[in-house]
Amino acid sequence: MTAAQIAALVIFIIMFLLIVTEKIDRHIVSLTAGALMLILVFGIMMHSPSDILKTLAFADLSKPDFWITNGTVAEEAGGINWATILFIGGMMVMVEGMAKAGFFRWLCLTIAKAVHYRPLRIFVTFMFMSAVLAMFIDSITVILFLASVTIELANMLKFNPIPVILSEIFCANLGGSSTMCGDPPNIIIGTSLHYTFSDFILNNGPIAGVTLLVMVLYFYLAFRHHLSADPETTDGKPVIYPSPSEAIQNRREFAVSTIIFLVTVVLLITHAQTGLTVATIGVGVAVVTLITAPHYAKAILREVDYRTLLFFIGLFVVVDGLDRSGILQMIANLIAKLSGNNPMLTIGIVIWLSAIASAFVDNIPFAATMVPVIKTLSTAMGIDLTTLAWTLSLGTDVGGSATPIGASANVVGISVAAKNGYLITWRKYCKYAAPATIISVAMFTVLIFIRYL
């Protein structure tokens, strides 16, 4: 290994360890690691100012096909994936606008009312709702609102919310695996490899859908005896149910935010036909949201998670350093050697490695690291790149469900429960989520083999 390769690898490992320990904010860790990669590896060791410019990738923003494509696939240049940054940022603005309008609380209460506030029915319908919402909205936001409403209903109906929250978390991660915008790893994979929303839902969607049905049955069998309550009375007193309309403070704002959301979904589904890139959709959605809610605009902008966007920027720089220094080529060669150039074994290694790694480290940096690896594997072994992409996507998205720290949605759900007096320990979480993850990844493996090999 060259000095540049050793330095790049050391920077990456230290960054990963610091992210896992959570002693320092992860955006500070990734930005610092990115700066070291630019200065130390590219500048001092590789003497390549051109690589610094390519990694920063500011020139991409001025290219017409960054905003509108003509149907051809542009050459992937690497570096900071500004399409991912702009799309996630735009979706954050839209979601904050929807939250201000009361959309999420209204939806939860409407569904609870439709099933007559029966705990077991709420349990099952909220699992499906979690999965469906996570197909289009950041799973962190989905769990934040679902967990809060679940606890509100649990306190009212006197049932234990922990089984419901655990199931919602898992189903959000599973539902998010089926679309390009459902989970951050998918956004990275899609924008890096130029896949569309339709590509994801046609390939990942059926696999995730079949697995979701099995997981709903799994959680139902695991928790059905934990969810018994009389929805008509609690402590001998009649229950007063909250009306869904109470969540709507301003009907005009609610209607506008709902329309924006539906139009966004349509644009995402059709962006391959319209030529609008996800960057354009993200920026457009953000602008329209802010224009239509002027008195909330400042509050919405304050609520955007800028630290996550900065984390992505630093992460892309570090991963590009691994790529340009040749480290990722070495990892791809190792996987090819371990698999003996057997496509089936290679896919098995990628999906289980992705799932196991994502259970203990943030699946976002892992996915960003593996995208160049699967591109190299595809070229070296003649395996269809799309098959490896769906394998990586499914493994990272659902593998993170196995432990409380594997995905951001897990951390948020556990935090909301703890703030309301419901402690979800590692043991309790893993007792149910780890077996569910193993079953899901095993199903993914078999279904991928059946469909693509």
Integer Cα distance of 206 and 273 in angstroms: 22
Could you give the angle at the alpha carbon of 37 between the alpha carbons of 35 and 38, nearest 5°? 65
User: What pLDDT is attached to residue 221?
Assistant: 94
* pLDDT single digits (tens) 306-324: 988 898 899 889 989 988 8
User: What pLDDT is attached to residue 311?
Assistant: 86
> Residue by residue, what is the 3-state secondary structure of 244-309?
HHHHCCCHHHHHHHHHHHHHHHHHHHHHHHHCECHHHHHHHHHHHHHHHCCCCHHHHHHHCCHHHH
User: What pLDDT is attached to residue 77?
Assistant: 55
Which uninterrupted H or E stretch holds 238?
strand 237-238
Integer Cα distance of 214 and 218 in angstroms: 6
Beta bridge partners of 370: none
User: What pLDDT is attached to residue 6?
Assistant: 95
> Which has the closest alpha carbon to 277: 84, 20, 111?
84
Structure tokens at 332: 């791809």
Per DSSP, the three-state class of 237 is strand
Which uninterrupted H or E stretch holds 234?
strand 233-234
The DSSP code sequence of 344-364 is: HHHHHHHHHHHHHHHHHS-HH
Please list the ranges in the chain whose pLDDT falls under 50.
73-75
Distances (CA, A) of 292 to 101, 171, 260: 11, 32, 10
Residue 235 has φ and ψ, to the nearest 5°, of 55, 35
Structure tokens at 163: 């089984």
The letter for the amino acid at 295 is H
| 177 touches 208 (CB < 8 A) | yes
Mean pLDDT, the chain, integer = 89
Per DSSP, the three-state class of 97 is helix
Q: How many CB atoms lie within 10 A of CB 21?
A: 9
Distances (CA, A) of 86 to 190, 271, 278: 14, 16, 8
Q: Is residue 393 packed enough to be buried (19+ CB in 10 Å), middle (13-18) or exposed (0-12)?
A: buried
User: What pLDDT is attached to residue 227?
Assistant: 77
| 277 touches 294 (CB < 8 A) | no
> Which has the closest alpha carbon to 163: 117, 244, 218, 242?
218
> Which has the closest alpha carbon to 428: 442, 445, 413?
413
User: What pLDDT is attached to residue 390?
Assistant: 96
Integer Cα distance of 70 and 174 in angstroms: 33
User: Which residue pairs from 118-121 have beta carbons closer than 8 angstroms and sit at least 24 positions apart in sequence?
Assistant: 118/231, 119/154, 119/157, 119/159, 119/227, 119/228, 119/229, 119/231, 120/224, 120/227, 120/228
User: What pLDDT is attached to residue 155?
Assistant: 86
